[in-house]
């Protein structure tokens, strides 16, 4: 009685492919600001309250550094490509398909890993406020919200809100 291993090999190929695909998901982006803009209801003045006007809002772009490929993507891609290539043909044709699958899978896996580790560009805003006592304060925030240049604001414990 001959037992066919093709269904088992096909399942292993699908499992390996889904594992590789899970590695492609981009890393989450976390925006952090020193003084995030929080719209607040009318706050009672606290001990560190300043009033002023929005003098400028500028866009700041920063870029994370990318990581080089480690070779893990090439190895995983080569394994998946080899298993898939082995499913094609008979005899020497199967060996050639397996070799092509290994090479193609390694190239594709390395490319996928390189894209996942690529540098990312982040955008934030710098809100400059001229305080009523003549000073300037700058706040880096992920979004300026509804603030516009010339708006009257209150700074209460490092939180900006419209006044």
Domain residue ranges in the chain: 1-24+67-118, 39-64+120-163
Average pLDDT over residues 137-149: 89
Average pLDDT over residues 47-66: 87
pLDDT in tens, 75-99: 888 888 888 888 887 888 888 888 8
What's the CA angle centered on 104, arms 99 and 109, to 5 degrees?
125
Q: What is the pLDDT of residue 129?
A: 94
* Nearest-angstrom CA–CA distance, 5 and 11: 10
User: Is residue 7 within 8 Å of 114, Cβ to Cβ?
Assistant: no
* Nearest-angstrom CA–CA distance, 41 and 102: 62
Average pLDDT over residues 111-138: 89
* Residue 141 burial by Cβ neighbours in a 10 Å radius (0-12, 13-18, 19+): buried
Sheet holding 159-162, edge to edge: 136-141, 121-131, 49-63, 152-156, 159-162
Given a cut of 70, whether residue 8 has pLDDT beyond it is no
> Residue 16 in 3-state DSSP?
helix
Indicate the DSSP class of residue 155.
E
pLDDT in tens, 22-54: 555 555 444 444 444 444 444 555 567 889 999
């Amino acid at each position: 009685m001959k037992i066919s291993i093709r269904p088992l090999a096909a399942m292993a190929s699908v499992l390996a492919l889904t594992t590789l695909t899970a590695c492609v998901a981009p890393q989450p982006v976390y925006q952090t600001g020193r003084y995030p803009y929080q719209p607040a209801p009318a706050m009672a003045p606290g001990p560190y309250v300043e009033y002023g006007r929005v003098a400028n809002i500028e866009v700041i772009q920063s870029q994370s550094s990318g990581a080089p490929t480690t070779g893990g993507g090439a190895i995983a891609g080569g394994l998946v490509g080899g298993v898939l290539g082995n499913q094609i043909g008979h005899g020497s044709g199967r060996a050639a398909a397996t070799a092509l699958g290994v090479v193609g899978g390694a190239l594709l896996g390395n490319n996928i890993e390189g894209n996942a580790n690529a540098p990312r560009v982040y955008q934030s805003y710098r809100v400059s406020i001229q305080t009523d006592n003549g000073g300037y304060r700058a706040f880096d925030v992920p979004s300026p919200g509804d603030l516009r240049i010339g708006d009257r604001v209150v700074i209460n414990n490092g939180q900006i809100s419209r006044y």
